Each structure stands twice: as C-alpha cells, then as structure tokens.
Homo-oligomer: A and B are copies of this chain.
Amino acid sequence: MDETFFAGVDGGGTRTSLILADAAGRELARAEGPAGIVDPRHPERSAEVITGLVRQAVADAGLRRAPDALCAGLAGVGNEAERVAVEEALAELGVAGRVRVASDGEIALEGALGGGAGILLIAGTGSVAYGRAGDGRMERCGGWGMIVGDEGSGYALGREGLKAALRSVDGREPPTPLLDRFLETLGLEHAREIPPWAGRVEKADVAALAREVLEAAELGDAVSMRLVRAQAVDLAGHVGALASRLAPWPGEVPVVFHGGVLQNALFASLVSGHLGDTGHACRVRPPLADAVHGALAYARALVHA
C-alpha cells in the first residue's frame, strides 16, 4: 500500500488548525496549535510550529513518513518575500514532499468556493473580501485595518455605536438606548469615561460592542438601525468592487459570507439586500468547506497538477 496523503494548515490569528487527509479526502488526523501569525523577521518560527503539528498528526495517524504535500494558509503573510521565506523554511525542515504557503484569505476562498469563481466576504473583528475570477485570477478588496479601513466590521459597528451614543449625549443625535447598554456592558458610570476606555482597550473589545448595536437595531432603535445600515452598505461595496474587477461573470456572482458579524441575521440580510446596488447579480450561498479544507485542496493540487 503506497497511498499519497496531504496536510492542510489554517494558521489564523487565534489558532493554527491542521488536517491530514488521503487522496480521497478521507481525514487521517487533526491537530491544533497556537496562532501561526508570521513575524516577518523570524519565518523559521512559524515553520517550526507547523512542522511540529504535522509530525504529531503523522504519528497520531500511525503513518511512517512525511506527507506528499503540504499547504499552509497563514495570517500575516503580507507580501511575496515573507511568503517565500516561510515556504523555504518549511521545505528546509522537510515537513512534506512539496510545500506551498498561501495567505489565510486564499485558502478560505478556496475552501468556501471549492476552487470555483466567486467572492468570499469576511466581516469579523475586521473586514476584507477575496474573489476569484472564472480565469483563476485572485483579488483582494479592503482589509486595510482599523484606522483607515475595516468598513462593515465588528470594530466599525462598535466604534460607530460609541460615537452615536456620545453624539446623543451632546444632543447631536436623538436619544438612543445605546448609551445605557454600553455603560452597563462596560461597567462604566458616565459617558465621559467612554473616550479613555476606547483609548486603552484592544480592537476586539470595541468589536465586541457590535452585538449591542445589532441588538438595539433589532429592537427598533432608529439610531442603531441607521448606522448598521450604513455599515452594511459599506461592506456590500467590497463585493461590488471585486465583482467589477473580476468581470465578466458567466451568470450570477456566487458570494459566501464569513465571520462573526455576518452570522447576525439582520446584518446579513441588510448586506444581502445591498448586493443589488452593486450592479451585479449576486447569489449568497453557504461555504462548501472551511479554510483547512481549502489548504488541503491546494496541497492535493501540488502533487496532481
């Protein structure tokens, strides 16, 4: 018996997930590790984390050799030099017969669309969209970060909610239940404690307030509803721009939603509704598979191409 087998790695900002699978896609083993974010100055560190996980999974599956191919999709692979550095470090460690390093967005797109054309729209703490054209071209839109980007993200919803609450204190905005919600959630006494709070916390802490904003909107608060809709329009704009850049499309543009904020039914339905403004016929559909399976597909393609 001499069956080929492959490793797929999703190295996200929170943790690293690995699956070992055979040529038929049957799962042989799984492993989980710490966040695999790439530090550009130390590519060998990500390579070591990944190699450790692969060897553990290989042993767990009772196999006696390295996988035939490995693909790792890594958050933090911002440019080609970084990507190649990690790829070379992995190859040097002999982690697999063939090695490919991609961005976390590429493997998520591959998993969600099964290698077909379409757009993956991600809105969690931040926001970004990836698209693949019928001819295989891949493009990114957004993902510029919390200061100059991340429109339609949890961070944007949370921050716009805080701003609206403070405008309401000023009388620049009608009364809204947002202020009381925020003060209770954050354990603060007064609106004037909000700016120093916002100055000392992490992006994720502000993004966590998106839940309050979406809930207030669901319960009928007009102030919240207006800002939620504005963020939905901004987020839908990512899809419109990518659809234009990746045209022509033979039919409807397949769109897959991903990330915590797009799990919210109200927000997802507003974004879906505004996809019609893009000038492209879009069809939102569930993902075919997750990012690790996207990486596995890439790994298989390395051998079978």
Which residue of the partner chain B has the closest CB to A166?
B144
Which residue of the partner chain B has the closest CB to A190?
B79
Size of the chain A interface, CB-CB below 8 angstroms? 30
Q: Which of B144, B148, B167, B195 contacts A145 (CB 8 A)?
A: B195
A198 touches B147 (CB 8 A): yes
**Interface status of A163 (Cβ within 8 A of chain B):** yes
* Chain B residues within an 8 Å CB radius of A244: 171
* Chain B residues within an 8 Å CB radius of A147: 159, 162, 195, 198-199
B241 touches A195 (CB 8 A): no
Whole-angstrom CA separation of A79 from B151 in the bound complex:
34
Contact code string A161-175 (vs B, CB < 8 Å = 1, else 0): 011001100111000
How far is the CB of A157 from the nearest CB of chain B, in Å? 13
Main secondary structure of the interface of A (DSSP, over half): helix
Whole-angstrom CA separation of A160 from B75 in the bound complex:
27
CB neighbors of B among A237-273 (8 A): 237-238, 240-242, 244-245
**Interface status of A276 (Cβ within 8 A of chain B):** no
A148 touches B172 (CB 8 A): no
* Chain B residues within an 8 Å CB radius of A29: none
**Interface status of A142 (Cβ within 8 A of chain B):** yes
* Chain B residues within an 8 Å CB radius of A237: 167, 172
How far is the CB of A146 from the nearest CB of chain B, in Å? 9
**Interface status of A31 (Cβ within 8 A of chain B):** no
**Interface status of A141 (Cβ within 8 A of chain B):** yes
**Interface status of A194 (Cβ within 8 A of chain B):** yes
A241 touches B170 (CB 8 A): yes
**Interface status of A149 (Cβ within 8 A of chain B):** yes
Whole-angstrom CA separation of A151 from B160 in the bound complex:
12
Q: Which of B172, B240, B242 contacts A141 (CB 8 A)?
A: B172
Whole-angstrom CA separation of A240 from B173 in the bound complex:
11
How far is the CB of A27 from the nearest CB of chain B, in Å? 37
A163 touches B148 (CB 8 A): yes
Which residue of the partner chain B has the closest CB to A148?
B162
Whole-angstrom CA separation of A145 from B191 in the bound complex:
13
Whole-angstrom CA separation of A238 from B159 in the bound complex:
19
Q: Which of B79, B171, B195, B245 contacts A171 (CB 8 A)?
A: B245
How far is the CB of A233 from the nearest CB of chain B, in Å? 11
Whole-angstrom CA separation of A147 from B162 in the bound complex:
9
How far is the CB of A267 from the nearest CB of chain B, in Å? 19
8 inter-chain pairs at a CB distance below 8 angstroms, sorted by A residue, are: A79-B192, A141-B171, A141-B172, A142-B170, A145-B199, A147-B198, A147-B199, A148-B198
